[in-house]
Amino acid sequence: MQAASASNFIKKTTRELGFDFCGIARACFLEEDARRLDTWLNKGMHGQMHYMQNHFELRVDPTKLVPGARSVITLLMNYYPEVVQPGDALQVAKYAYGNDYHELIRDKLKTLFKKIKENIGDVNGRGFVDSAPVLERTWAQHAGLGWIGKNGNLINKQQGSFFFIATLIVDLDLEYDDPFVKDYCGTCTRCIDHCPTEAILPDKVIDGSKCISYFTIELKDALLPGNMKGQFDQWLFGCDVCQDVCPWNRFSKPTTEAGFKPLPEILEYTKDDWEALTEEQFSIIFKDSAIKRTKYAGIKRNLRFIQ
C-alpha cells in the first residue's frame, strides 16, 4: 500500500474507533526538546517524579522505542464532560470524571494496530497512552494537531485542550502532515495569572513541583507541604484551572465516548460525602477510575489538607 493510501486508511480507522483527531509526523530525534527537558530536570521542576529522569534517550528519540521507526501517529480523544461539578463542590479534574482513560484508549490502540497489520502489512510498532517516555504533545504539534500553550497543554484550534493524547510509533513510511507552527496564545496570560500556586512560568515552562495536580496525585508523602496550605482552591484530585480559564476552551464540545460519562458520585458528592467515604466504598466506586491512582489514603490526605 502506498504511503498516501496507508495514511488515509489509518485516519479513517481512527475515526471509526472514536478518536477525534489524527496526525502523522516523521520519526526523528527531538533535539530542541532534549535541551529543554535537560534544563527542566536540572532545575528540579519534576519534584519527586523521579521517573521523569529515567529513559532520557527514549523520550527524545522514537527509534530507541521502536527500532527502525519511521512515523509517529498521534491521536486525540476528547474528554470534555457534558455536565460539570457544582462550583462549591470539592473539585476533581475533568479527565477523571469517568473510566480510566489508560485502559479505554489502550484497547483502541491495540485494535488500530491490529487493523494496520491486517490491511497494510507486517508492520512493527508500539502504542503509548501517557505511561511511557514519549513527548506526546511535541509529536502532536509536529503532526499538525495544535500548538503547545503557555500552560504546557496542547491546544487544538477547533476544540481547545480537553483531550487525551495517544501515540503509535511504527516502522512504516507514511504521508506526513504539516507541523503546526503558529502560536495562537498571543499576549493572553490568563493561565499564568489564574494558576493558584504560580506553577506556570514564562516561556511555556511549568514548574511541576508546584502544580496542584502534582501534589494531589503524584506526590506520595503522607503529608502535603505546609507552605501550600490554602492555595489549592478546593481541588481534591488534580486541577483544571489553567484549562478552565483558557479562551480556546470555549470551543470545547461534550465527548461522545460513553466510557468518559461522569460517575454520579463525582457530580453529586458533597464534602460530607467525601469525609464519610470508607476504604471499601472507595475501592468499589472508583475501581475503574483514574482516581484510584492516588489511593484511598491519598484522597483522605488531600481532603484534610484543603479543609
Which residues participate in catalysis according to the annotation? 130
Give the 3-state secondary structure of residue 139.
helix
- Alpha carbon distance 83, 89 (integer Å): 13
**φ and ψ at residue 98, rounded to 5 degrees:** -110, -145
- Closest among 39, 37, 204 to 133, alpha carbons compared: 37
Q: Where are the alpha helices (DSSP H) in the chain?
A: 3-16, 31-42, 56-60, 101-119, 136-142, 190-194, 212-213, 241-244, 264-268, 271-276, 279-285, 295-306
Residue 269 exposure: Cα atoms within 13 Å on the Cβ side:
21
Q: What are 165's three cell numbers?
A: 493524547
